[in-house]
Amino acid sequence: LTEGTISTFGEHALLARVLARLPRPSPTVLVGPGDDAAVLAPVRNERLVVTTDAVVEGVHFSRAFSTPADIGHKALAVNLSDLAAMAATPRWVVLSLVLPGSWMVADVEDLVDGFAALAQRHAVSVVGGNIARTDGPLVVDVTAGGEVAPRRWLTRNGAAAGHEIYVSGTIGGAAAGLDMLQQGAGIRDRGSVCIARHLRPEPRVRLGTAMGRARAARAAMDLSDGLADALRQVAAASGVGVTVDAALLPIDECAREWWTSRRIDPVTAALKGGDDYELLFAVPAKGRAALRSARRHVSDPPLTKIGVFTKDPRALVIERAGSVDPLPEGFEHFANR
């Protein structure tokens, strides 16, 4: 019966299939999926943190490269990353599927499995969702909710001149991985670190919450639209400038090799490339003890100091081999595509 397209299925039947694949919600979920809405018991005194993000076929992913499970994973990962950037612990999520009639029921199930596996790994309850049909491309729209203690969240506007800029993990890999796929790397070539980073981004949930709890940072943002974009956004929201040292950027080795072989500057590519779901932090120089405290709780991924926030909000620059250049523009989904 899983052989067939969703057009041959009723809405209720498909919904039942999807619901059956979701992990059991946490005991704080008083009414789970299947009613008009879900009911949850919040943790006492915590603040509610909410974010929403959609992935669209042909814009954020291609079915030629991503399996249904990859798509489900990524749709959730990008939302968990937003919560992590606020230092919030993810608690619940709702999944809205807008499905082309030609999709196979088995593929919908795989998508839900990819989504549910990541949810379970982060103890996030899938509390509801929606299934709609479309004559266009697949859209997976997710809203995620989390909790954070009063005054422990991190925004984009808390950076000040003198704060050091830290970035988690490595950068540039996802963009290089996408380029590899577009240049003909096979979808089976998932062994490449760069391709894996494009297909299966890992949200830095534990790191984000540890940084907030330890008060180790004053501002944070995730790198969904690339490092250059994140630096520009935090600088603009905080009214400060940015100086980045190119030599300090933790660029993925596979990205460095790939762009060099393509005769493209790896530093610029890593700054502009989107889809690295790492975190950017503004850390006060006197806050290094708090930073070490956060690192004792969460040592992976590494954090790298890449520069400093500065006084002049017009000065967004990258230093490299003695020269000082303007920071590249960030990646925008609408423009130049």
For residues 270-329, which are near a copy of itself according to CB under 8 A? none
> Does 107 participate in binding a copy of itself (rule CB under 8 A)?
no
Which of 83, 75, 69 is CA-nearest to residue 56? 75
Contact 319, 246 (CB under 8 A): yes
**Which C-beta is closer to a copy of itself: that of 48 or that of 264?**
48
Which of 213, 232, 209, 218 is CA-nearest to residue 162? 218
> Does 203 participate in binding a copy of itself (rule CB under 8 A)?
no
> Does 206 participate in binding a copy of itself (rule CB under 8 A)?
no
- Interface residue with a copy of itself among 2, 52, 182, 260 (CB under 8 A) is 52
Query: Who's near 60: CB < 8 A, 6+ residues apart?
Result: 54, 74, 333
In the complex, the smallest distance separating the C-beta of residue 301 from a copy of itself, rounded to whole angstroms, is 18
Residues paired with 169 in a beta bridge: none
- Interface residue with a copy of itself among 85, 228, 267, 327 (CB under 8 A) is 85
> Does 60 participate in binding a copy of itself (rule CB under 8 A)?
yes
> Does 133 participate in binding a copy of itself (rule CB under 8 A)?
yes
- Interface residue with a copy of itself among 22, 75, 86, 294 (CB under 8 A) is 86
Q: Looking at this protein, which amino acid is placed at residue 225?
A: D
Kindly indicate which of the ranges 36-44, 174-182, 249-257, 266-274 contains the residues binding a copy of itself, using the contact rule CB under 8 A: 36-44
Residue 315 CB coordination number (10 Å) = 15
Q: How far is CA 7 from CA 13, 98, 104, 107, in A?
A: 11, 13, 9, 13
Binding mask 142-181 for a copy of itself (x = CB under 8 A): -x-xx-x----x-xxx------------------------
Could you say which residues in the range 2-21 bind a copy of itself, by CB under 8 A? Answer: 6-7, 9-12, 14
In the complex, the smallest distance separating the C-beta of residue 30 from a copy of itself, rounded to whole angstroms, is 6
Kindly indicate which of the ranges 173-181, 196-204, 218-226, 270-278 contains the residues binding a copy of itself, using the contact rule CB under 8 A: 218-226
Kindly indicate which of the ranges 65-73, 80-88, 194-202, 295-303 contains the residues binding a copy of itself, using the contact rule CB under 8 A: 80-88
**Which C-beta is closer to a copy of itself: that of 111 or that of 196?**
111
Q: What CA–CA distance (Å, rounded) separates 88 from 76? A: 15
Contact 140, 53 (CB under 8 A): no
> Does 123 participate in binding a copy of itself (rule CB under 8 A)?
no
- Interface residue with a copy of itself among 22, 75, 94, 216 (CB under 8 A) is 94
- Interface residue with a copy of itself among 77, 98, 167, 267 (CB under 8 A) is 98
Contact 226, 175 (CB under 8 A): yes
**Which C-beta is closer to a copy of itself: that of 92 or that of 259?**
92
Kindly indicate which of the ranges 126-134, 173-181, 299-307, 316-324 contains the residues binding a copy of itself, using the contact rule CB under 8 A: 126-134
Counting residues that bind a copy of itself (by CB under 8 A) gives 71
Contact 219, 281 (CB under 8 A): yes
> Does 199 participate in binding a copy of itself (rule CB under 8 A)?
no
User: In the structure encoding, which two tokens stand for residue 15, read together?
Assistant: 């919904």
Q: Which helix (H) or strand (E) holds 84?
A: helix 68-85
| Rg (alpha carbons) of the chain, rounded to whole number | 21
**What does the DSSP assignment read for 278-331?**
-EEEEE-GGGHHHHHHHHHH---S-EEEEEEEES-TT-EEEEETTEEEEPPP--
